[in-house]
Structure formats: structure tokens, C-alpha cells
Structure 1
């Protein structure tokens, strides 16, 4: 990165972060703090309104913005794909903003860059789930997002895939929504403090129904940070199974979330799972038919047998 590129990068970082120290800028740009001091002097001499606050860092005078900048093909494709992802996976408000952003980006691209960007973008496709499920998630996402902005609790009916210890799969929940996360296997997940469980819980947005915003407000804990948050691992039950060696590659590709270890042996592909309840694996195990045998625990082996007997009665 030459000096001109570095000066532009400094201004962009200050526009994005508002206030940064010389050490923070130096670490981001891979230079020394002394270099940053010289760059700040150069920016000031060039008329960029940089404000230095002793003990705090550098910032830009409020209202100062860089003029429109140009994008490389790779940068343009990255931004347009990101906008497409948001357009497909977020609620209507964000979908509208993403579509508007995409049009603005396309409008400032030069002719050759736009042609090359269209060519590359045309060779990449973002697949999405069934539209009915996706639309349900989008509606829920919009309501949840508004509730988070207003710091209001939400109430909904939650449909669990596996029944609780009391046998119920459907429960009414009132929660304080702390954040949203997207997982390729589970889709959108709501992280919230659940009044019923008196702890932070995860809820798949697609399993939420009858969602409403209450008038009760909440305040997230000062020490809660969505980016660094890691859920408690409560999986304590081990399930082991042996798969037909001929489908080893398929099992590996499936890459089930609960898989902890796997090893190919003479008698087959041995896989160990760690779960909260073995029932969480039942449908997935049955989906492999005769190509898998559960070896432990014995209680889960019996549960698989019971389900097979029920299936035989239907046929």
C-alpha cells in the first residue's frame, strides 16, 4: 500500500469508526504509529478536517465525507452479492434498502467494470430455501428487528422439533430479544433472554408463530456482546453409530452439527455424536435406512427399533 492509498484508507476508517487512536490505525493498516502521525499531518495540510483529541484519538469534522469512489471488479461483485443476500434473507425494510443500494452501486460503475461485474455475477447464484418458509422468516425478522430497536419484549408460540421432558413441543414464550444470527444449517436464530427459562435461549425464527411486540421494555446486560457471545454447551449424551463404508463420503458431506468424531474402520464408518437428547438424531438416523446401525446408548437403539416397528405397521 503506497502513501496515497494509505491516506485514503485512513479517511475511510475514520468515516466508518468515528474515533480511532494512532495505534489502532497503525494496527489496521500494518504500519507504525509514527507513520500515522506523519500521515495525519499530510491530511491536515491537504485540507482534510482531521481533529486530534489528546488521550482519545483522531476523528473527522462532522459533516465531512469523501466523494464517490471507484470499485474494482472484485469489490463490486462482493458488494452486489452481499446486497443480493440481504435482499433474499432479510425483512421487507432491509430488502428495499438492499435493492436501493444495489442500484446505486451499479449506477456509479464505469462501463467496462459494469460489464465484467455482470459477467462474474451471472456465474454465481445464491440458493434460497422454499419461498413459503423464507417469507415466514422475513415477516418474523422485521418484527423482531423493530422490537430490538425499541428495546421491547416479544411474545410468541414456539414449536420445538423435539418435545421437552414434559412431552410438550409447543410452548408460549416471552423474551427480551438481544440479537439475530444466521446459520447455514438452521437459518435465522434469535438470541434472547427467556422469561420462562430465566436464561438466554436460542430460537429458530422459522419455528416462531403468533409473534407480537409487548409494551414491556428491557435492557440488555452491559457485558453482553453478540459478536463474542458463545452459547453454553449443554450436550452431555453420546450417541455412536456405524455407517456402511460405501456411504462414508455422503455422511462426511452431511456434516451433521452434532458430529464430534468419525473414523473409518474395517466394519464401517464409526461416528460419535454429542447431543442434549438422543431424540434430536432420530429422524436423521432413520433417513439413512439400513446403511446405519446405532451401537449406543441402548435406550436410543430401542427407540429406533420402536420407530421402525411403527413404520412397518403403516406399510
Structure 2
């Protein structure tokens, strides 16, 4: 990054943050603290009102704003594709804001840049999958987003893919919602569940009758959504053989549980890591006779039982 670009970037960082130390800026721009001192001096001499406090850091004088920033073609394309993504994957309110942002970005672009951006965007397209099925999920997304901001608990019916320890798939949960995470195209709520008395994850697509309660909650002092990592409790390994005819399709499927893939003479050997072997049952059956479970034996027996039940239907 040359000096001119770095000066503008420093100005943007100062406008974005309340206060920054020279050490912080040096780390951001991967340069020395001495260089940052010189850059701050250059900005001050050019008329930018920067306030510096020894031992605290630098900040912009209150009321100072940068003039409108210009975008390169690549930057404009990135922003506009971002608005397309938000419109597709977020709730209606954010979708409307994304449309408004797109219009504003397009309005401030110079004509030459706007034409080039339009040309580039004709070569890129985002396709929403299952839009009708996502309508309820988008509605729940907005409800939960507001509940998180207002720090209010929620109640909903929840359907588990696999039964809990008590054998039930259906349950009613009261949850203190901490955050929303988009995982492989699906929205997941992270929150403290009163039924299980622990932090749990809930797919919005499996929720029903979502209600925001009057009861409030406090975020744990040590909780940060950006730093949170889910405990990995997948301790059971499953090995399957995929016939050569479907090997490429299996690799493209890119299952969440897939750990390793090895091409062998008899086909594709795939290793999975799961909580319960039954989590893969429907997926394996979907490939028919082109897929064979090698281990564990308990899953082989489970597949055999399901196939026998299927034969009785015909």
C-alpha cells in the first residue's frame, strides 16, 4: 500500500472508530509505529483535525466527516453483489435496506464506472434456492434479530432431526437468544436453552410458532459471538464405499460430516464423523445400491432393516 492510499485508509479507520493508538494503526497497516507518526503528522498538516492524547491514542475532532468516497469498478461490484446477497439471505427489513443501498451506490458512481460495473454484473448471478420454503425462515430471522437487540427471551416449538436422549423429537423451548449464524446457507440461532440449561443451537427451519416473550435477559459478560466456537461432539466414525459411477457426485455433495476421501480400485472410500450413525441413514439410502456401508456394523444392520421395510411396501 502506497502512502497516499494509507493516509486515506488511516482517515477512514479514525472515522470508523472512536479512538485508535499508533500501535493499533501500525498493526492494521502492517507498518512501523514511526511511520504512523509521520502519517498522522502529514494528515494534520493537510488540514485534517486529528486530536492526539499521550497514552490514549488519536481521534478525529467531533463533527468532522470525509467527503464522499469514490469506488473502483471492483469495489463497486463487490458492494453491489453484497446487497444482492443480503436481499436474498436476510429478512425483509434488511432486504429493503439492501435495495436502498444499491440504488445509492449506483447513483454516486461516475457514468463510466457505472457502465463497467453493469457489464461485469451481467457475468455474475446469485440464485436463491427454495425461496418459498425460506419465507417463514426470513420472518423468524427478523423476529429473532429484534429479540436479540432488545434482549428478550423467545419461545418456539422445535423439531429435532434425531431424537434427544429422552426419545422425543418435538419439544417447546424457551431461549435467551445470543446471536444468529449463517451456516452452509441455513440460519441457526445460538442461545441459552432453559429446557437443557446450556448453550444450544437451533435451525430456524425447524422452528414453529415463534413468540417473543416479555421476559428479558442479560448477555454473559464473557460471551462474544465472533469468538464463539461450538464444541465438537462428533465422536463416531462411519466408513462407506461409493461405486465409481457416483464418485464425482459424492465428492460434489460435500456432506458436513465428511472427513476424508480416498479413491481406490473398487470406488470412493469416504470417512464420516457423526454424533449418531443414524444421522447418515437417509443420505446413504438416497444413493441406493451404489453406496455400501463398510462400518460400523450397527449402521449396516440399520440400513438392511430399512431396505427390508421398503421391500414390503412394494
TM-score by shorter chain over 0.5: yes
Q: Shift in Å at residue 54 of structure 1?
A: 2.2
Q: Which residue of 1 aligns with 2:216?
A: 217
SS at match of 2:14: helix
Q: Shift in Å at residue 254 of structure 1?
A: 1.0
Structure 2 distance, partners of 1:127, 1:161, is 27
Q: Which residue of 2 aligns with 1:283?
A: 282
SS at match of 2:10: helix
Structure 1 distance, partners of 2:48, 2:285, is 65
Let me know the Cα RMSD of the aligned residues: 1.3
Q: Which residue of 1 aligns with 2:234?
A: 235
Structure 2 distance, partners of 1:169, 1:245, is 36
Structure 2 distance, partners of 1:7, 1:90, is 35
Structure 1 distance, partners of 2:183, 2:217, is 26
Structure 2 distance, partners of 1:201, 1:87, is 27
Q: Which residue of 2 aligns with 1:268?
A: 267
SS at match of 1:132: coil
Q: Which residue of 1 aligns with 2:249?
A: 250
- 5+ residue gaps in structure 1? none
Structure 1 distance, partners of 2:3, 2:240, is 59
SS at match of 2:223: coil
Q: Shift in Å at residue 265 of structure 1?
A: 2.1
Structure 2 distance, partners of 1:136, 1:313, is 37
Q: Shift in Å at residue 140 of structure 1?
A: 0.5
Q: Which residue of 2 aligns with 1:170?
A: 170
Structure 2 distance, partners of 1:242, 1:46, is 68
Q: Which residue of 2 aligns with 1:102?
A: 102
- 5+ residue gaps in structure 2? none
Q: Are 1:39 and 2:44 matched, yes or no? A: no
Q: Shift in Å at residue 266 of structure 1?
A: 2.4
Structure 2 distance, partners of 1:72, 1:29, is 20
**1:1-315 aligned within 5 A:** 1-184=1-184, 187-315=186-314
Structure 1 distance, partners of 2:163, 2:312, is 23
Between 160-169 and 226-235, the greater mean CA deviation after superposition: 160-169
Q: What is the number of equivalent residue pairs in this alignment?
A: 314
SS at match of 2:284: helix
Structure 1 distance, partners of 2:150, 2:184, is 28
SS at match of 2:99: helix
SS at match of 2:225: coil
Q: Shift in Å at residue 146 of structure 1?
A: 0.4
Deviations 1:112-169 (A, max 9, x none): 1111111111211111121122211110010000001011111111112222233322
Q: Shift in Å at residue 3 of structure 1?
A: 2.4
Structure 1 distance, partners of 2:263, 2:3, is 55
Structure 1 distance, partners of 2:44, 2:17, is 19
Normalization by structure 1: what TM-score?
0.96
Between 27-36 and 80-89, the greater mean CA deviation after superposition: 27-36
SS at match of 2:174: strand
SS at match of 1:113: helix
Structure 2 distance, partners of 1:63, 1:193, is 41
Deviations 1:39-87 (A, max 9, x none): 1112122221212122221111222211111100100000001011111
Q: Shift in Å at residue 241 of structure 1?
A: 1.1
